[in-house]
Amino acid sequence: MSDIPMHARRHYQMVDVGDKNVTRRRAIASGSIHLGEIAYPAVRRGTLPKGDPLVLAEAAGVMAAKRTGDLIPLCHPLGLDHVALAFLLDDDALRVDVFCQAATSARTGVEMEALTGVQVALLTIWDLAKQVEPKLQIDQVRLLLKEGGKSGRWIHPDGLPPLPDGFERE
């Protein structure tokens, strides 16, 4: 392994999407947070000291998806037509699966918006749960589906898991 000075790596540019056609774009991302035996029931009931983590995580995820272009350098700012978050709770695994669906009509995709929504929703749950149980783990953050544009439809090679109500498979 070798060190490369950062000043030697300062080449970057924003991709010009001006010649692309405006098409309907949609992406779904997901991720999970593993909670312990103390935090999980409190998350399920919405009784953490700071408030209901799923309500707050939904709002935070929508807000983050809308601000993705401000958070990630070179990510095109997009006016989103729709952002939705949903949660599936797994009582056996003490886990919350978070899903974010983003859609727009634009020249570039909404994958980063869906992924940002998931990540910030997961971090919001973490922030509210850490007070009662700090042993938490976020994992399995991934893009499940993207569609629109020249590339058409892409589904994660592992396939689509069961999606929450309101998240279209087709």
| Residues noted as catalytic | 127
Copy the structure tokens of residue 15: 């991709």
CA 106, 109, 111, 113 dihedral sign is negative
- Report the Cα 82 to chain-centroid distance in Å: 14
Whether the CB-CB separation of 58 and 46 falls below 8 Å is answered with: no
Of 78, 76, 103, 106, the residue nearest 15 (C-alpha): 76
In sequence order, which ranges of 26-140 are alpha helices (DSSP H)?
39-45, 53-66, 68-71, 111-129
Q: Compute the distance between CA of residue 15 and CA of residue 129 in angstroms, rounded to an integer.
A: 39
